[in-house]
Amino acid sequence: MTTASIDDPILEISGLETHFFTRDGVVKAVDGVDLTVGKGEILGLVGESGCGKSVTSMSVLRLIQNPGEIVGGAIRFQGENLLDLSEKQMRSIRGDRISMIFQQPVGSLNPVFTAGSQISEVYEIHQGVNAKEGSARAVEMLRKVGIPDPERRIKSYPHELSGGMAQRIMIAMALAAGPELLIADEPTTALDVTIQAQIIDILSEIRDDLGTSIILITHDLGIVAEMADRVAVMYAGEIVEEADTKTLFADPKHPYTQGLIGSIPVAGSRREWLEVIPGRVPNLIDLPVGCRFAPRCRAREQAGLKICTEQRPELTVIQGEHTVRCFLYHEGAQ
């Protein structure tokens, strides 16, 4: 299906720490994240609200605002550490080589400009073409993302667009400059199922046709299973498990991943009761000592492990590229 490989990385995040310095204390939203995205790869970044998946992606684009700050780590894009760049250099990367689409497509578009002029602007700024050429290319791009009658559509204002249409415009805009990496943050969450299916298809086509690498941020394991080559699961600011998509769904190791997969109702294969992860996500200001999932972990209780509430587990290799942050897989852990 894909020739993507993490041996040929386009993005390497190592030890990323993004903290928010609030009145109530330091929120460790991202706390030591390592991630690699291969060329032409779709990496799924999965987790529940507040796990730090969006903050990770905003850190890549260096869009973290006060009181947030990237306090540690490195983000290498094509070998260059983005954290060393000046704001001016960073601007030439944003939208040009790395671009992003968001959950709320209508809200992300400027309401006073037509869809066409907003896409055309990307060509004018990043490729130095004139307005006429820019709008011709905008029409071309809209056709590519499956918008019917693009000549007419470029004259529409955002409020005249449906959610699915606006998301396609956003995708067209994000792709206009021919980025090497696209970050899609919950791209279909606000859309209806049948429209979601259209957007999933378009994103997969983009990767296949243009070789664009994609970081797909979502809480929906179904979308990840359909699209991603590899999956990283985040919990309370950390990656707790990472594997290729087939392995992760067939053989999840981390008790959190197992619980997550067991808790989703699957259409057409009903179970009497859904699995439940007890409790809730810890407060990121006052994180538990040891493993962050330990207070909700039944596997730990069953195994009678004490270490889980005393030490923070490291990522361990299960096999090949399958890694997990859990003491259950540490030899001799007690």
Partner 1 sequence: MSDPLVRIKGLVKTYPVKGGAFQKVLGTVKAVDGVDLDIRQGAAIGLVGESGCGKSTLGRAILRLEEPDAGSVEFDGVDVLQLSRKELKHYRRDAQVVFQDPFGSLDPRTSVGDSIAEGLRVQGLSRKMRGRRVADVLELVGLEPYHANRYPHEFSGGQRQRIGIARALAVEPRFLILDEPVSALDVSIQSQILNLLKQLQRELDLTLLFIAHDLSVVEHLCDRIAVMYLGRIVEIADRDDLFAAPTHPYTEALLSAIPVPDPTVHRQRIILEGDLPSPLNPPTGCTFHTRCPIAQQGICDVSAPYLRPINSGGHEASCHLRTGDHQDLDRPLLSNR
Cβ 138 to partner 1, closest distance in Å? 20
Cβ 331 to partner 1, closest distance in Å? 29
Cβ 36 to partner 1, closest distance in Å? 20
Cβ 200 to partner 1, closest distance in Å? 7
For partner 1, the closer of residues 70 and 239 by Cβ is: 239
Cβ 182 to partner 1, closest distance in Å? 19
* From 219, 258, 309, 315, residue interacting with partner 1 (rule: CB under 8 A): 219
For partner 1, the closer of residues 36 and 245 by Cβ is: 245
For partner 1, the closer of residues 18 and 196 by Cβ is: 196
Cβ 175 to partner 1, closest distance in Å? 20
How many residues at the interface with partner 1, by CB under 8 A? 46
Return the structure tokens found at 288: 């538990």
* From 125, 126, 220, 299, residue interacting with partner 1 (rule: CB under 8 A): 220
* Residue 49 sits in the site that holds partner 1 (CB under 8 A): yes
Which parts of 95-154 interact with partner 1 (CB under 8 A)?
148
Give the 3-state DSSP-derived string for the chain, with helices as H, strands as E and coil as C.
CCCCEEEEEEEEEEEEEEEEEECCEEEEEEEEEEEEEEECCEEEEECCCCCCHHHHHHHHCCCCCCCEEEEEEEEEECCEEHHHCCHHHHHHHECCCEEEECCCHHHHCCCCCCHHHHHHHHHHHHHCCCHHHHHHHHHHHHHHCCCCCHHHHCCCCHHHCCHHHHHHHHHHHHHHCCCCEEEEECCCCCCCHHHHHHHHHHHHHHHHHHCCEEEEEECCHHHHHHHCCEEEEEECCEEEEEEEHHHHHHCCCCHHHHHHHHHCCCCCCCCCCCCCCCCCCCCCCCCCCCCCCHHHCHHHHHHCCCHHHCCCCCCEEEECCEEECCHHHCCCCC
* Residue 246 sits in the site that holds partner 1 (CB under 8 A): yes
Cβ 165 to partner 1, closest distance in Å? 7
Binding mask 190-209 for partner 1 (x = CB under 8 A): --xxxxxxx-xx--------
Of 70-78, 88-96, 268-276, 285-293, which part binds partner 1 (CB under 8 A)?
A: 268-276
Q: Point out which residues bind partner 1 (CB under 8 A).
A: 48-49, 148, 162, 164-165, 192-198, 200-201, 219-226, 245-246, 249-250, 259-268, 270-271, 273-277, 280-281
